[in-house]
Homo-oligomer: A and B are copies of this chain.
């Protein structure tokens, strides 16, 4: 991930930027703004947590009423505006009203996101005071995009962005996205947020369908510690400024091209979030194949991704394949230990010897395996040899640094 997004990667039809409005005591950027030049289609996927932060509730309501005419997204970091009662919802509404006044649109055309501390009142007056200046400074420039991508961060160690493009009807269509994660799991810090912009033309219904489909394969397959936040939000806005026609019928070639480009951005962002997980030193890529169904494969991949045993083994570059077998076994789906094959760090550690008999522990060089597990990316492959179901999941290693970050936040 390079320091600065190239100008050519920026979709047309948007302005963006970020500023410091005074929520973060550190003085770092804490308010981001994206404005579509004209009202445009948008889609969103939100946390499944039953405790939803006020901005999630508001943005869901606004998307329901105005999915085809969204004007702006306002994001603050440093305060999640969650578990703040009726005052929290009033604060999010105030934010939307202030932005709407500024842009000459209706409040329900504004989407609002917050990330940071749970349970503290949001100092919304700081957001409202800072918005006019911010609106005058935003632009369609690499510099202002980086400002936006920094304004949404909490415990992340660096901004995370990804770009892709495709051709639809002969026209170049651009996608750019940025995300914050890491602190999905930080003490009192909540939230994975991701924002994707494209100059493709796409009605809200199509955008929403595409986003749901893609989220299952990207953001929903990564985990740092399994703690779903109260603020998780993934939004996409489509300005149509590329001049390319809308991919109308689902499943046709242009729709597939569109999906692939959007998915590329989402996958890159999702992996960047895991790689920047709190205390993480390695990315773990889990592939399960040969399951009775794709659902079974997903269940096993997720169980492996959540296992503290496996995550600590990766932290120590310890070729403990037995933990992978044990995690697969407790996933609650059919599995025959006599047929399972396990590769860890690319080394085959458990399976049929010379292709005959039952699966058994295989000989391998401990030293060579340890070396393989010291890589920045560690693959785990489990083949159940039962059927054709496959799935992937991603996680990071679990280090003592994760515990330090999360145990000593306020004391």
- A323 to B83 alpha-carbon distance, docked (Å): 11
* Contact pick for A185, options B309, B325, B410, CB 8 Å: B309
- A315 to B409 alpha-carbon distance, docked (Å): 11
Extra inter-chain contacts (18) besides given A86-B357, A120-B361, A316-B407, CB under 8 Å: A51-B325, A51-B337, A83-B360, A84-B360, A85-B338, A119-B321, A119-B325, A119-B361, A187-B323, A190-B322, A227-B307, A230-B326, A308-B308, A313-B406, A317-B411, A366-B410, A399-B403, A400-B407
Contact A315 B51 (CB under 8 A): no
Which residues of chain B come closer than 8 Å to A190, judged between CB atoms? 322, 326
Taking A50-B329, A185-B309, A309-B227 as contacts, is the C-beta distance between A85 and B318 under 8 angstroms?
no
Between A and B, 21 residue pairs with Cβ closer than 8 Å are: A50-B330, A50-B333, A51-B326, A84-B360, A118-B322, A119-B361, A120-B361, A187-B312, A187-B313, A188-B323, A226-B306, A227-B309, A228-B330, A230-B326, A230-B329, A312-B402, A313-B406, A317-B411, A318-B409, A400-B404, A403-B403
Contact A403 B402 (CB under 8 A): yes
A49 at the interface (CB under 8 A from B): yes
A327 at the interface (CB under 8 A from B): yes
Counted per complex, copies of this chain come to: 2
* Contact pick for A326, options B120, B227, B366, CB 8 Å: B227
Taking A366-B410, A406-B316 as contacts, is the C-beta distance between A330 and B49 under 8 angstroms?
yes
Q: Which residue of B lies closest to A340 (CB)?
A: B51
Contact B316 A408 (CB under 8 A): yes
A48 at the interface (CB under 8 A from B): yes
A225 at the interface (CB under 8 A from B): yes
Contact B358 A85 (CB under 8 A): yes
Which residues of chain B come closer than 8 Å to A49, judged between CB atoms? 326, 329-330
Contact B227 A327 (CB under 8 A): yes
A335 at the interface (CB under 8 A from B): yes
Q: Which residue of B lies closest to A88 (CB)?
A: B360
A82 at the interface (CB under 8 A from B): yes
Q: Mark A25-61, 1 if CB is under 8 A from B, else 0.
A: 0000000000000000000000011111000000000
10 cross-chain pairs, A with B, having the tightest CB-CB distances, nearest first: A51-B329, A118-B322, A316-B407, A312-B406, A400-B400, A85-B360, A228-B330, A49-B329, A50-B329, A315-B407
- Max count, chain B CB within 10 A of own CB: residue among A318, A407, A408: A407
- A232 to B287 alpha-carbon distance, docked (Å): 27
